[in-house]
């Protein structure tokens, strides 16, 4: 496996730039969440969970009716 040191020592500036950009993106991905807060889930997972919860509520209303 090629390491970060291998890329940086090779002098290949394109490979080094891609590697460093990838590391920066990976580092910042942890901040995707509500209000740019650091959360254990990413924005997509958190949004999916919220949609699932709201669909459960909608399903309950459709099954039991609006009287409850």
In this predicted model, what pLDDT tens digit does every residue of 2-61 receive, in sequence order?
677 777 777 778 777 888 888 887 777 766 655 555 666 666 777 788 888 888 888 887
Residue 25's alpha-carbon distances to 10, 20, 30, 49, in angstroms, are: 22, 9, 9, 24
The sign one gets for the Cα dihedral 7, 10, 11, 15 is negative
The number of domains in the chain is 1
Which range marks the domain in which residue 27 is found?
Answer: 4-64
pTM greater than the 0.85 cutoff: no
Q: Phi first, then psi: what are they for 19, rounded to 5°?
A: -60, -50
């Amino acid at each position: 496996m090629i390491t970060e040191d291998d890329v940086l020592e090779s002098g290949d500036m394109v490979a080094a730039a891609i590697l460093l950009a990838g590391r920066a993106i990976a580092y910042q991905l942890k901040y995707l969440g509500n209000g740019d807060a650091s959360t254990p889930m990413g924005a997509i997972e958190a949004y999916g969970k919220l949609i699932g919860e709201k669909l459960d509520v909608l399903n309950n209303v459709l099954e039991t009716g609006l009287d409850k």
